[in-house]
Amino acid sequence: MKHMIIGTAGHIDHGKTTLIKALTGRETDRLKEEKKRGISIELGFTYFDLPNGLRAGIIDVPGHEKFVKNMLAGVIGIDLVLLVVAADEGVMPQTLEHLAILNLLGVEKGIIALTKADLVEEEWMELVEEEIREEIRGTFLENSPIIRVSSTKRQGIDDIIQILEDRSRKLDYKKEDETPRLPVDRSFIVSGFGTIVTGTLLSGSLKKGDEVEVFPKGNISRIRTLQVHDEDAEVAYAGQRVAMNLAGIKKEDVERGSVVAPIDSMKKTMMLDVKVGLLESLDRTIPNRTRLKLYLGTKELLCRIILLDRDELSPGEEAYAQLRLEEETVAKMKDKFIIRFYSPMFTIGGGEILEPNPTKKKRFDSNALRELEVKDQGSFGDILENIINEKSKEFPSIKELTLATSMKEESIKDEVDKLAREDRVKSFTLTEDSYIIHKEYFKELQALIIDELEQFHKNYSLRVGMPKEELRSKTIKNASPRLGEIIIDKLIREGILEQKSEFIRLKDFKIQYSDKQLKIKDKIIRIFAENAYIPPKMGDLNQLIREKEIEINEVVNSLIDSGDIVRLNREILILKESYDNSLVKLKRFFESQDSISIGEFRDILNTNRRVSIALLEYFDEKKITKRDGDKRILMKGFD
């Protein structure tokens, strides 16, 4: 869906507000002081319909140098600019500053309105036009039309409307598939309604009744009513001027610079990784750690610039930097910004956000600079891969990647699927979400798991493997237990690991007994076989075999791991063959009886009460039997 927002720019008293009135029939100066002084101080908003039926929003920005911060708040999200130059004065300082700001913010389309054309001679008009052409050379306005205008006599007004209509047909579709964001440029109270906020919806769509969050303060609200161009609406789309009535929010909780967006869709920050450039016209360099005014969206805040690859930035140069903020804000990758000196106040440059929620970076760190280069020059897939690579140790979910990029979940899922098909990332799906790590980090985890198992096999050469939970907890520490299991299972499917019962071992691992260990093993099995249902305690076993306790324990543990011996409880072990026979005898008993007592089972096996209890409790644990008073009954499926 196409929507058009037009913004004005230009020096004070060059006729921006009068031009808008000629186009729309409406006055945008609202304040008494504006009407008294004849200048715009705050932003003005109105709209008009083009001949093709498209309704265009129009933003009137102040031209005085003292109100540049208000101008910056108004030009966010505009599709086309009307740069206004008065014919009787020509290009002035604020004309150039506004032009520089628009260029830095990435505005791509515009018209130059040469106002007050009825007040000058033709020769002077031609000189002014020549001056304008010289000043716009190399900017986005270089090939834009210059229309001679007299707003009071309506000269050139129809020409501007025709050009606007032509340009409207070539508008790009707004980013409706992205997370909704509305940077607030005004908030006020309407009696009987409460807090009203206005702004240009940069992306996505918002509906009446939606639950929203006001960032960065985090207040939760609901959109009670919506208006688009002074008319009630059920839905507002990207590219429209929007007013919304927020329920349960005080005016002071949603000031200019706040962002209204879905709950938990953005993450506040005190740092921003950026690519920043200085204007060529600047007459000084910017040293590292210079304190600056930052204009981001509709917000104005102070920051220090940390230059990551140099000690100072010269006019016309670009560099990677980290902005350390003096208050919290929210942003999205690729957002544009402006920087100004705060004393004296004038524009010095701007740039683009590469990472809205970075970690603190060291200067001259080659790895950090390479990461920023990818985010600067790469495709969205490259950028997302880089983010995943950075965050792999945190095992980011699709939801967390959505938060990091401000893209909708569907878009992130599609891009992750593509990266997974290209074997650039590994994706693991749980019930509630999918978790993504970079393939290089997966290789690190694989190497770590292999090293851990190699050491385990070396230390415990007779063990069938390491318990799965122990392996997970030692190697995949930052993931949830279930996610850790899924990663280990993937290595099993790929033939790198092998699972036996609850134990994990390397695929090519084989238990190899020494001659001495084989002798101990044979003695243990013989002793347990000869004492099938009155097995020896471990202490007795040590006395019977007369070898070192540690060596006997190692062989016993190996036989337990392999399943040759069953551990009924902490103290009682039994040969697997004896266990199987006891189960056969139990089932045979139940062929003619409904229940069995401890004494009856003891007599069947010709054992003692201690062993019969241990066996029956083990059967209970395995869901073979079920306790019924002082007897056991056979569970269904085992009869």
For the annotated catalytic residues, the residue numbers are 13, 16-17, 64
Question: What is the DSSP track for 460-498?
Answer: -TTSS-EEHHHHHHHH-TTS-HHHHHHHHHHHHHTTSEE
Q: Side-chain half-sphere of 64: how many Cα atoms within 13 Å?
A: 10
Who contacts 158 (Cβ-Cβ below 8 Å, separation ≥6)? none
Element (H, E) at 538: helix 538-545
Judge whether 132 and 44 are in contact, CB under 8 Å. Answer: no
Q: How far apart are CA 576 and CA 137, in angstroms?
A: 90
Residue 283 DSSP code:
-
Q: Would you give the distance in Å from CA 549 to the centre of its chain? A: 56
80-86 and 573-575 strand pairing: unpaired
Tokens (6 digits) for 608: 């003692």
Give first-to-last CA distance, the chain, whole Å.
68
Judge whether 495 and 489 are in contact, CB under 8 Å. Answer: no
Nearest-10 crossing angle of helices 515-530, 576-590: 20
Judge whether 114 and 129 are in contact, CB under 8 Å. Answer: yes
Helix (H, G, I), strand (E, B) or coil at 393: helix
Element (H, E) at 603: helix 598-605
Who contacts 348 (Cβ-Cβ below 8 Å, separation ≥6)? 278, 279, 282, 286, 292, 339, 340, 341
Helix (H, G, I), strand (E, B) or coil at 313: strand
Is the omega angle on the peptide bond into residue 344 within 30 degrees of 0, that is, cis? yes
Q: How far apart are CA 260 and CA 221, in angstroms?
A: 9
Tokens (6 digits) for 357: 């929620």
Q: How far apart are CA 403 and CA 407, in angstroms?
A: 7
Cα torsion through 23, 25, 30, 33, rounded to 10: 80
Judge whether 346 and 100 are in contact, CB under 8 Å. Answer: no
How many residues are recorded in the chain? Answer: 639
Residue carrying structure tokens 């032009």: 99
Q: How far apart are CA 450 and CA 621, in angstroms?
A: 33
Judge whether 300 and 294 are in contact, CB under 8 Å. Answer: yes
